[in-house]
Structure 1
Amino acid sequence: MFFLSFYLLSGNLNTLLIFKIPGVSFFEIQPVRFIYLMLLFLIIRKTWYSIGKSKASFDRKVAWFEIALFGYVFFLSLSALVNIAVNEALKTILDAVAFIIIMFGLRKIEDQPSYNIIGKSMIITGVFTSIISLIQLVNNPYFMRIGDNRRAFGSLIRSNGIFSAEYLNSYYLIIAIVWVLTTIKNKMLRIGLVVLFSVGVATSFMRMSWLLLILILLVYFIVVNRTAIEKLLFAAGTCIAVILVIFTIYSNDIMKSSLVQDRLNDSVDYRKGYYTMVLDNIHKRPFLGFGDLKNEVYYENLLLITKDRDRATAASGSLHSGYFSSLFRYGIPALLCFTLFTTLSVKYYSTFFGKNLYYMIPFAVSVIFMIGNMTNSFLFISYLSVLYAIHIGIGMGTKEIDEQSLIYTKSKTEVLSARPNESL
């Protein structure tokens, strides 16, 4: 748990700890790999000691999203082995297996205090990255910046916090907000942290993260907290008024910003060109796709679309969609499995958080991963996919805890009811 907390506390700064193994070109030591190896040992140990003691683990019902995940990893592995070099194929397969290990490793922990430590780690990191984001926005845009420096509007640069990109910063903060709403009992502290993290999300100037934040808050306040509609309307009206004032003051800068111009520009150097390229070429290899982005089809089409050799050789950039990336790289069956995996996990946890608020956490992360993959590629084992695996595992572990508690309560009730009635 210490290493996992360190991974969450350090954001993308932990990439500074990556180093290659001499003589092994396709493998390098990364913090996340150390974590999934530790979790693999945990799975083996708990499975070994549970053999013969209980049959509960073998009788556990497998959720449909788990079956979809196994199907996706199967087709991914088959595509990698058929289409690309062995060393690259092994790396791709290991990353997919790592996702499964992290997910099931977190489930095997089955300890609420340990899960709470993960939440506290994310909240602490959320405070630091929000403060750093504000400093990057209003004072020094390169303060502790380790990645992209994309322009927002005017002279302002999108804030990354302690992450390599603004979208990772904002998605992390949205997940931290859900932890705050779920676990922090002090009302004033809860409000203060939500406001601070929301400001951090706003400094990313990323439209999708703003929409996801609004969606998650609406679900919480309407479905979970059942907040009065007049309070929500007042809050919405206040936000709209603030946005209108800001737009009025900075309208010229905003209209000239990349935030707006990226959507007004109709050139092919945008995502529509990438998606069209995938749809126009997938018929050549519909079942297993092309394996990766380093192939002639990708090179020729991306060079035509972007006029950028780095993009064409996959040295930078991506297809900007996890779904289109899955289709192009691994084929139609893999796309179907990946889509089912993301959507069924959302459906699965949406049926539980009404009974236990803790399920709101894996539900929210599932929503972020499902929608975030529409405009960015978060395939295994990117940073957001690691967060997804962690929280999916937490949800599965929480369900195990609830089921064990229910079995214990039921057994205790049966024992008490089986006792003969004592005469007064």
Structure 2
Amino acid sequence: MQGTLNHRPHGRAARLAALLMLAFAAPLAFAQGTVSSAPQPPQITSPTPGSRLPDPSRITIRGTASNLATGTVKVQMSHVKNGRRVSDKSVSKGIGPDRSGNWSVTMDLPKAQRGWQDVRYTITASVRWKNEHNQPHISDAWSPTVTFDVYPQSQPEPLPVAPGPPVIQTPTPGTLLKREGNFRVTGTGTPGNTIDVRTELIYATEGNPTYEHKNSSAGIKATIDRSGNWTVTTSAPGYTEPGYVNARVVIAARERHQEDQSLASHETLREVSIEVPPRREPTQAEKVRAAILVDRPEELAMAESRMGKMDPNLVAAALRPQPRITEPQSGASVDDKLAISGSAAPGSRLQVKVTQALDSLRPRDGKRTPARTTDLGTFTSKANSKGEWKINPVALPDIAPRSAVITISVGELDAPGGSSAPHTIKVRQQGH
């Protein structure tokens, strides 16, 4: 019987005893301070390496580790700048496994800026043993680090860049523009962007065909519509004149980005010809205009060589102020006392004429009374030293119940070169 008692247990009982010894050995050894090496690294189960995060603003990281350990998980954002990867903001949180060894943390992600390239988030995690009582034989070494990269669902929107040059569709090459008036310029570009269109008139003269003059216009803006089309109405910056050689208009179109107007394309150029009137003898009006505009000897010499020596009397007549009626205003309504005044060259003698055109009236018997014109008088006046003149009020005949048109004209007597062209206005007289 004694020998039977000394036998070791066998079978199922022996295996159960061994498992119980192992279950209590690790925590007992930890509690007694005999752990001298770092714990195993944590395992990250979500997200997986290389995956794309579903939420652009938050990240949830899950994993496992020893329930006797504590640690930290960190998310570092980075992007590529000028060919090199640079680190940006980072966030981190502590790891606290539960009794089953599971842990999870949720963090707000750093916000990537527009224009950043190849944004990624590097996740790192590490743990060490808990040592609540600062026991000297429990290692405080960190476990090896777990690290891998994950990516946002989509990369940040790129920064705006200068658009490509727009397309000019019309006018087409070979078009001959009219000398006067506006013309349309049409084309295509990027919807929402702005188009700047300017024109330049280039020409030489028969006297110096190798030198080209250039007149430029201010730009006209338009917005490219949703279909990518644009239209502007513009004109040549000046008129061609007889004697111009190789006259043409250069149309320049530039596209600007809708978000940043400083981001502009290269100009698209379109060159078309423009009409040049045939050479002819200058009219008196053109000579007068040239006399007024010329104020430098070299310009006067050029004008004389182009259209001949001007008559001094013609120059004096062109520079002399012409008589004008300033009161009443053209188209105004007047009563039975008509006051007339105006401006002219100081000291000039003036002749004023007034007529009345009576409207027809349909009386009760159905017959129309013929319209008639009445001469209300011719008057003279003299402009004072300030160039002001007036005449005594003109009494208008009663026309009730009819109405009339009053015509007033003024001309200068003894003007250089003969009488001046009259200045004429019309006003309306209402019957009472």
Bucket of the pairwise TM-score, normalised by the shorter protein: under 0.3
Computing the radius of gyration from Cα coordinates, the structure with the larger value is: 2
Considering fraction of residues, name the structure with more strand.
2
Instruction: Between the two structures, name the one with larger relative contact order (CA 8 Å, sep ≥ 6).
Output: 1
Q: TM-score scaled by structure 2?
A: 0.17
Considering fraction of residues, name the structure with more helix.
1
Q: TM-score scaled by structure 1?
A: 0.17
